[in-house]
Amino acid sequence: MTLFAPDRDPLQVTRRQFVRTASIGLAGSSLATMLAARQAPAQIKGSNLRILTWSHFIPAYDTWFDKFAGEWGEKNGVKVRVDHIPHLEIPARMAAEFAAGAGHDILFNGSTILTRIYFKTLADLTDTYDQIGKKYGGWIQAARSPVEVEGRIYGIPVYYILLPMLWRKDLFEEAGVKPPDTWEAARVAARTLKAKGHPTGIQLSHCNDANLNWRSLLFSFGGSETDASGDHPTIDTKEMREALKFGKALFDECMTPEVFSWDDASDNRYLASGIASWIHDAISAYRTTESTNPAVFKNTYIGLEPAGPGGKRVSVSAPNAFMVWKFSKNQAAAKEFLVHLMDNDKQGMIESTGYNMPFLNDTAKKPMPVIGSDAKLQVLQDFPKIVAFFGYPGPYTTQIQEVANLFVLPDMFTRVARGQGIDETIKWGLGEYQRIFAKHKKA
Amino acid sequence: MSSTFQAGDPETGVRVAVPLAALPRSGAWFRSQSARRLGFGYALLAPAALYVTLLVAVPFLFSLYLAVSDATVGEQMAGFIGLENFKAALEMDSFWVALRNSVVFFVGAAVLKSLLGTSLAFLLLQEFRGKKLVRALVVIPFTLPVAISVLGWKWMYDSQFSVFNWVLSRLGLIGTYGTDAWPVWLGDPRLALVACILVNVWRTFPFSAIVLLAGFTSVPNEVLDAAKVDGCSFLQRFHNIVVPMIFPILMVGFLFDTVFTLSDLSVVYILTQGGPGNATQILPVLAYQIGIQAGNLGRGAAIALFLVPLLAPAMFVFLRNLKRREY
């Protein structure tokens, strides 16, 4: 059987071809019209959309998000349900939904990014990603790393959470020390201020901030975690040695042993208590002092990521993305909702009081919502160029996710801070990295 | 082939040959009273057997299957890789630390729970005003949701705001905040594991106490009174009368407690996530971090299965002792 009769004129159009071409044209033009009108297609009407997301650190954002999702559902005839759970529970929930082949349609991933583990059962969102990017001037450079697998996109990056320098200008001025624009300046300031009862602290414990903060320091020192392919760990380097040496000095001179017990919120409390000279944390730490300790709030300033010895600045942030299960029967509605969410990217940033940093270039243009009009926060607008995620300069791979889950990098800094030799520590760390890399099937 | 059936009298031991034709035919046997009683017995057992099969045997066999496969949380298919996951676990430094900590955690918690549980049970045996209220209050730690109660402890252990430290400091027993004499409960590797054990003990020793209390109240007062008249001291009565009489209850209590303690994930996970620097890492937390969070189900299952060699001997000893006491 052949598809075409051999004696047919190639320019001749059959009835079937005509119908097919006309249908495609009609569907395309309808989609374009609907997108232009920001109206959802009729086929999503009557469907149910279940969204699993985290409990945001800014509760007002959750209130807005739930209302926003509900209103979108009402407008488009979609029954929307939003479930919030603590972000640490998301991996277990995701595993359970995968095993059951049922659950939510849209899933949130924050801090622990599981795109590469689940990509075979996640809906391919490349078209949606491209469509959104095209509309809003493209995505910032770091956006693809957490959601891209083998050239396809399996998640829509919605925002990332920055950890800038939060420093006490009053204490710095009183002690006559320079602002913490470089890691060395930060060290000198904290050393001076520790003697006056104002040490600093970075978590040397098992928590996500430890993973983020020590990576920022390492990468700003010119170090890296993997090569550009993400296949090979690159932690046995001169830069890693320098970073570890600096980390040890920072602990000895500027911190107290409290940092060994800290969780993600301990440094917030440290700042709010008025003791910390500076911390390297999300701006929620600064925001909360507005009500808990107004004097600290007034004197706390936000700094750009401190530069390493070579002037390099890399800010390791926590990415947040939404994914859609392939088994979801409501993929069309899910994609429509995600497009609508990103259409309101600026509003989301406003509702989060500037906590959510934008992945879209147009939203990231100066002046950004909220932070662009706040003198202290304006510096955050310079971060999109220096943002990186775990695995830098390579992609955010499954291997790196396990390295982060087991806190291997912060443990290296912890070992050195506790007195273990740098060579011995690197040998241990490299062994852990290599073991994890060797055992994982590359996604 | 013989056409007779050896039957006998169980009391006299005399065995006689009975012609097979004299026995009821197989169809008739199923209708006999013995068969019906047997069937009824199995029917009564069936729910328990089904429960054990579905909720214990199937998950256990499934975890065995996972442990010898390269299963990940994101793939439906998994290949057989033999003992690779076990080998990989044994090569991990953190596995050996977790194994050691699990044993220390179990032994430390068991000793403390035995002491506190026994003491509390004896206290609750005494007659005093408000006894019912006290009995209700002591089980609160056991009944509270673990996440809430452990978060409370996390605050009490906080490096800056620890209520223990502030009280001890005001009493002059430790230094002031910011000095080396200010304990960092969850930051000092030695203190951190002790802190985790204490929370586990606080949560579950009321269970030990309730089990023991149930045992103590089952000992007839006449026996104890007779021993008192004979001049037995408190310890003699406890050792020679109470313990032997409540031994089966004690064993069941130990059995549950061993499982609860060795498989306790929540306390360590919420307090320290295994830190600082793996100082509080235990097998269930490591298995969760690798199996669920990092998505490597096979290796996570293999690590969790290392709990079996720890639990199995204890279970064997407990159950064998129980069985011996039955006869």
What confidence score (pLDDT) does residue A23 get? Answer: 55
pLDDT band at B17 (very low <50, low <70, confident <90, very high): low
What confidence score (pLDDT) does residue A8 get? Answer: 45
Cα separation, B198 vs A189, whole angstroms = 39
Length of chain B: 327
Quick check: B295 and A401 CB within 8 A? yes
What confidence score (pLDDT) does residue A443 get? Answer: 42
User: Chain centroid to CA A327: how far?
Assistant: 25
pLDDT band at A7 (very low <50, low <70, confident <90, very high): very low
pLDDT band at A1 (very low <50, low <70, confident <90, very high): very low
Predicted confidence (pLDDT) at residue A176 exceeds the cutoff of 90:
yes
The residues, any chain, with a CB within 8 Å of residue B109's CB and separated by 6 or more, are: B197, B200, B201, B204, B261
Residue among A92, A263, A398 minimizing CB distance to B292: A92
What confidence score (pLDDT) does residue B252 get? Answer: 84
Output the CA torsion A54→A59→A64→A70 (10° steps). 50
What confidence score (pLDDT) does residue A306 get? Answer: 98
What confidence score (pLDDT) does residue B1 get? Answer: 40
Quick check: A260 and B184 CB within 8 A? yes
Residue among A98, A269, A415 minimizing CB distance to B160: A269
Predicted confidence (pLDDT) at residue A388 exceeds the cutoff of 60:
yes
Quick check: B296 and A439 CB within 8 A? yes
**In B, which residues are within 8 Å of A118 by CB distance?**
73-74, 295
For residues A286-313, give the mean pLDDT. 95
Q: One-letter amino acid identity for A418?
A: R
- Of the candidates A359, A290, A277, which has an alpha carbon nearest to the alpha carbon of residue A318? A359
Tokens found for residue B283: 């097998």
The answer to whether the CB of A207 falls within 8 A of the CB of A262 is yes
Q: Please tell me the distance in Å from B197's CA to the nearest CA on chain A.
A: 16
**In B, which residues are within 8 Å of A262 by CB distance?**
159, 187
Burial of B295 (0-12, 13-18, 19+ CB in 10 A): buried
- The A106-110 sheet, strands edge to edge: A79-85, A48-54, A106-110, A318-324, A156-161
Quick check: A117 and B72 CB within 8 A? yes
pLDDT band at B19 (very low <50, low <70, confident <90, very high): low
What confidence score (pLDDT) does residue B255 get? Answer: 85
Predicted confidence (pLDDT) at residue B195 exceeds the cutoff of 70:
yes
Quick check: A398 and B294 CB within 8 A? yes
Supply the mean pLDDT for chain A. Answer: 90
Cα separation, A127 vs A156, whole angstroms = 11
What confidence score (pLDDT) does residue B26 get? Answer: 60
CB of A207 within 8 Å of a chain B CB? The answer is yes
The answer to whether the CB of A181 falls within 8 A of the CB of A304 is yes
For residues A158-172, give the mean pLDDT. 97
Quick check: A256 and B88 CB within 8 A? no
Interface residues from chain B to A (CB-CB < 8 Å): 70, 72-76, 88, 91-94, 154, 157-161, 178, 180, 184-188, 192, 272-278, 289-290, 292-297, 299
Residue in chain B nearest A438 by alpha carbon: B88
Q: Please tell me the distance in Å from B168's CA to the nearest CA on chain A.
A: 17
The residue with greater pLDDT, A155 or B135, is: A155
Q: One-letter amino acid identity for B186?
A: L
Residue in chain A nearest B276 by alpha carbon: A205
**Interface mutation vs chain B, best among A208, A252, A261, A425, most B CBs within 10 Å:** A261
* Span A328-365, pLDDT tens digits: 999 999 999 999 999 999 999 999 999 999 999 999 99
Quick check: A197 and B178 CB within 8 A? yes
Predicted confidence (pLDDT) at residue A442 exceeds the cutoff of 80:
no
Quick check: A402 and B294 CB within 8 A? yes
What confidence score (pLDDT) does residue B127 get? Answer: 87
Output the CA torsion A291→A295→A299→A302 (10° steps). -20
What confidence score (pLDDT) does residue B5 get? Answer: 46
The residues, any chain, with a CB within 8 Å of residue B321's CB and separated by 6 or more, are: B247, B251
Selected residues 126-155 of chain A with any CB under 8 Å from a CB in chain B: none
The residue with greater pLDDT, B11 or A72, is: A72
Quick check: B276 and A205 CB within 8 A? yes
Cα separation, A436 vs A424, whole angstroms = 19
**In B, which residues are within 8 Å of A259 by CB distance?**
187
Quick check: A114 and B74 CB within 8 A? yes
pLDDT-above-90 percentage for chain A: 80
Residue among B93, B184, B296 minimizing CB distance to A258: B184
Quick check: B290 and A94 CB within 8 A? no
Predicted confidence (pLDDT) at residue A31 exceeds the cutoff of 70:
no
What confidence score (pLDDT) does residue B32 get? Answer: 87
Q: Please tell me the distance in Å from B188's CA to the nearest CA on chain A.
A: 7
CB of A254 within 8 Å of a chain B CB? The answer is no
What confidence score (pLDDT) does residue B2 get? Answer: 41
What confidence score (pLDDT) does residue B138 get? Answer: 87
The least confident of A1-10, A193-202, A318-327 is A1-10
The least confident of A124-133, B11-20, B210-219, B305-314 is B11-20
For residues A12-31, give the mean pLDDT. 52
**In A, which residues are within 8 Å of B154 by CB distance?**
263
* Span A230-263, pLDDT tens digits: 999 999 999 999 999 999 999 999 999 999 999 9
Phi-psi map region of A172: left, alpha, beta (phi>0 left; psi -120 to 50 alpha): alpha
The residue with greater pLDDT, B93 or A41, is: B93
Residue among A121, A401, A431 minimizing CB distance to B294: A401
Q: Please tell me the distance in Å from A436's CA to the nearest CA on chain B.
A: 9
**In A, which residues are within 8 Å of B299 by CB distance?**
439
For residues B186-213, give the mean pLDDT. 93
What confidence score (pLDDT) does residue A6 get? Answer: 40
* Span A184-230, pLDDT tens digits: 999 999 999 999 999 999 999 999 999 999 999 999 999 999 999 99
**In A, which residues are within 8 Å of B275 by CB distance?**
205-207, 260, 407, 411, 414
pLDDT band at B64 (very low <50, low <70, confident <90, very high): very high
Length of chain A: 443
pLDDT band at B294 (very low <50, low <70, confident <90, very high): confident
Tokens found for residue A135: 């509309």
**H/E run at residue B205:** helix B189-217
Q: Any idea what the Cα angle at residue A336 is, between residues A330 and A342, rounded to 5°?
A: 135
Quick check: B154 and A263 CB within 8 A? yes
The residues, any chain, with a CB within 8 Å of residue B292's CB and separated by 6 or more, are: A91, A92, A95, B73, B300
* Span B109-135, pLDDT tens digits: 999 999 999 999 989 888 888 888 988
The least confident of A67-81, A140-154, B245-259 is B245-259
- Which residues are bridge partners to A233 per DSSP? A226
What confidence score (pLDDT) does residue A35 get? Answer: 47
Residue among A273, A406, A441 minimizing CB distance to B70: A441
What confidence score (pLDDT) does residue A123 get? Answer: 97
Which ranges in A77-182 belong to alpha helices (H)? 90-100, 115-118, 126-135, 169-175
What confidence score (pLDDT) does residue A138 get? Answer: 97
Q: Classify A161 as helix, strand or coil.
A: strand
Q: CA torsion sign, B167 to B189 to B153 to A200? A: positive
Beta-carbon count within 10 A of A188 CB: 17
What confidence score (pLDDT) does residue A11 get? Answer: 45
Residue among A98, A257, A406 minimizing CB distance to B94: A406
**In A, which residues are within 8 Å of B276 by CB distance?**
204-206, 260-261, 414
CB of A302 within 8 Å of a chain B CB? The answer is no
Residue among B72, B184, B275 minimizing CB distance to A206: B275
The answer to whether the CB of A305 falls within 8 A of the CB of A317 is no
What confidence score (pLDDT) does residue A22 get? Answer: 53
For residues A14-19, give the mean pLDDT. 52
- Of the candidates A13, A12, A71, A78, which has an alpha carbon nearest to the alpha carbon of residue A42? A78
Angle between helix A126-135 and helix A331-343 axes, rounded to 10 deg: 20
- Of the candidates A318, A251, A424, A334, which has an alpha carbon nearest to the alpha carbon of residue A50? A334
pLDDT band at B317 (very low <50, low <70, confident <90, very high): confident
Quick check: B188 and A257 CB within 8 A? yes
Per mean pLDDT, which of A113-122, A412-421, B245-254, B312-321 is the most reliable? Answer: A412-421
The least confident of A87-96, A273-282, B71-80 is B71-80
